[in-house]
């Protein structure tokens, strides 16, 4: 039993317990949960084992995923049930299930979030796999001929990037403000501040949409539709700044 206990404890601590087998090389039997719990006495190790089982189960289910909140959240989300644009029931974070970006990014599409462009030669590539966005890169692009266009493209990128960064920082400010108001509203003899909390939530959402609108506008080349988008974005930004 001591040998089994040491063996299983080591496998659990190394996150290798889910597929572990009997230590005898000729035996491919896997220890059951009941057997592991009867051998390992440490509650901490058993807790790690249970987390490993849960993690393995979630990774095997195509319709399950973890909340992508970068601040940390252990909530399991059901893709079919939650859908695009709905929030985690525990932390209210909105995840995107179609790409690896950590949050929902409407109105920017998933391709917008992974499509990067070189400022020097205008080469487009995928941020996730680093493969060329267009398969004929070497024939299609010519750095020496496109210097002026590359400079214009770089300036355009910087402008949109600065606007996007500004809205992200403003969103963080709104989140910080909401947290401060929440702590104040819990104090005795303070009248209800629900309307301020609601305003902060609206402000957070508006800044998020404005930030990803910059991504959408940067990649969209349809002049006619962009006129409408820019008008709507300008109107939203005007009212958001007022709020």
Q: Place 23 in a pLDDT band, splitting at 50, 70 and 90.
A: confident
For 144, other C-beta atoms within 10 Å of its C-beta total: 6
CA distance 160 to 102: 20
CA distance 209 to 232: 11
pTM equals 0.51
User: CA-CA distances (angstroms) from residue 64 to 5, 54, 57, 93, 95?
Assistant: 32, 11, 9, 16, 12
For 186, other C-beta atoms within 10 Å of its C-beta total: 9
- Asked if pLDDT for residue 5 goes beyond 80, the answer is yes
Report pLDDT digits (tens) over 35-82: 888 888 888 888 888 888 888 888 777 778 888 887 788 888 887 644
Per-residue exposure over 38-48, b if at least 16 CB sit within 10 Å of its own CB, e if not: ebbeeeebbeb
End-to-end CA separation in angstroms for the chain: 66
- DSSP at 71: T
Of 92-96, 129-133, 180-184, the least confident: 129-133
CATH of domain 114-242: 1.20.120.1750
For 171, other C-beta atoms within 10 Å of its C-beta total: 19
Question: Domain coordinates of the chain in residue numbers?
Answer: 1-60, 61-104, 114-242
Q: What is the mean pLDDT of the chain?
A: 78
């Amino acid at each position: 039993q001591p040998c089994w206990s040491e063996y299983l404890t080591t496998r659990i601590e190394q996150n290798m317990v889910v597929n572990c087998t009997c230590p005898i090389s000729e035996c491919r039997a896997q220890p059951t949960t009941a057997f592991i719990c009867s051998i390992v006495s440490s509650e901490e190790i058993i807790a790690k084992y249970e987390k490993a089982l849960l993690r393995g189960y979630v990774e095997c289910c195509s319709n399950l995923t973890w909340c992508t909140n970068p601040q940390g959240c252990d909530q399991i989300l059901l893709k079919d049930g939650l859908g695009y644009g709905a929030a985690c029931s525990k932390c209210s974070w909105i995840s995107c299930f179609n790409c690896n970006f950590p949050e929902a990014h409407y109105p920017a599409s998933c391709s917008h979030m992974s499509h990067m462009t070189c400022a020097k030669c205008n080469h487009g590539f995928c941020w996730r796999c680093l493969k060329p966005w267009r398969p004929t890169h070497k024939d299609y692009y010519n750095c020496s001929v496109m210097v002026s266009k590359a400079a214009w493209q770089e300036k355009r990128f910087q402008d949109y990037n600065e606007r996007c960064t500004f809205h992200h920082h403003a969103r963080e400010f709104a989140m910080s403000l909401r947290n401060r108001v929440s702590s104040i509203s819990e104090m005795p003899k303070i009248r209800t501040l629900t309307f301020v909390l609601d305003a902060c939530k609206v402000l957070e959402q508006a800044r998020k949409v404005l930030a990803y609108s910059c991504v959408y506008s940067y990649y969209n080349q349809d002049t006619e539709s962009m006129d409408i988008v820019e008008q709507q974005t300008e109107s939203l930004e005007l009212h958001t700044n007022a709020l």
